[in-house]
Amino acid sequence: MSSSIQWKWYGMLLLTVVLQILFLRDLAIGNIAFCFLYLWALLKAPLQIPIGLFLIGSFVLGWTVDIFYNTHGMHAFACVCIAMVRPLIFKVLTPANGYDERSSVSLAEMNALWFFPYLFIMLFLHHVILFLMEAMDASLLGISLLRAFFSALVGMLVFGLLELFSQNK
């Protein structure tokens, strides 16, 4: 992993968080789907990143978003959760020839059959935890799951488009 990619990653991290906080905060599609762009950095973190560092990183990322969303702890809770689950997903989705030492999480290097399930599991898990935390009510379980599902679909669309654009470059 070259340093240029790392710099690009840090840049995107900053950009997605700022975008999230300033613009996507108030975006709701049909009051049922939300876009959580800031998860980009979490999703695209290098495969070999030390898990401890990754947990703390996702914690800080989550709290940062929480501060602006006024939902102290909820995003962080969901982020740390999916950060913990990520290595498990990697293990489950191992491609036939295993992970390359230099491979990164991207549509270009992994095929679509690996990338989109990964994306969907991560996003859906994050959204379910987040919305249930927010609702805190069993009677809102249905609407929370619905929101999580559609938000995950929107997330897949957005992150898939981002991947396509970075492929072209």
Partner 1 sequence: MNQLFQFLLRQRIFLLFVVLELVNLWGIFKYNDYQHTFYFNTTNRWAASILAMGEEVKSYHQLREVNQDLALENARLHAEIFKLNSQKQPESKIPYFLGEGMLQRYQPLACKVIDQSTQMSQNYLTIDKGTRDGIAPGMAVISSTGIVGKVMSCTSDLSLIVSVLHTGNNVSAKIKSTGELGYIKWGGIQPEVANLQDVSKYKKVVKGDTIVTSDYNAVFPPNIPIGIVAKVGLEKDETFHDIKVMLLTHFSTLKYVYVIKNKLAAQQAILEQAKPKPE
The secondary structure of 28-64 as a DSSP string is: EETTTEE--TTHHHHHHS-TT--HHHHHHHHHHHHHH
Residue 106 exposure: Cα atoms within 13 Å on the Cβ side = 16
Q: Which stretch binds partner 1 (CB under 8 A): 1-9, 38-46, 73-81, 90-98?
A: 73-81
Closer by beta carbon to partner 1, 66 or else 163: 66
Contact track, partner 1, 22-51, x by CB under 8 A: -----------------------------x
Q: How far is the CB of 122 from partner 1 (least distance, A)?
A: 16
Q: Which of 62, 119, 144, 155 binds partner 1 (CB under 8 A)?
A: 62
**Count of residues in contact with partner 1, rule CB under 8 A:** 19
Residue 74 · residue 126 · CB < 8 Å: no
Q: How many CB atoms lie within 10 A of CB 119?
A: 23
Closer by beta carbon to partner 1, 107 or else 125: 125
Tokens of 75: 């995003």
- CA pair distance 78, 131, nearest whole angstrom: 9
Under the binding rule (CB under 8 A), the answer on residue 74 touching partner 1 is yes
Q: Which stretch binds partner 1 (CB under 8 A): 17-25, 41-49, 80-88, 109-117?
A: 80-88
Q: Which of 64, 71, 104, 106 binds partner 1 (CB under 8 A)?
A: 71
CA–chain centroid gap for 64, Å, is 15
Under the binding rule (CB under 8 A), the answer on residue 139 touching partner 1 is no
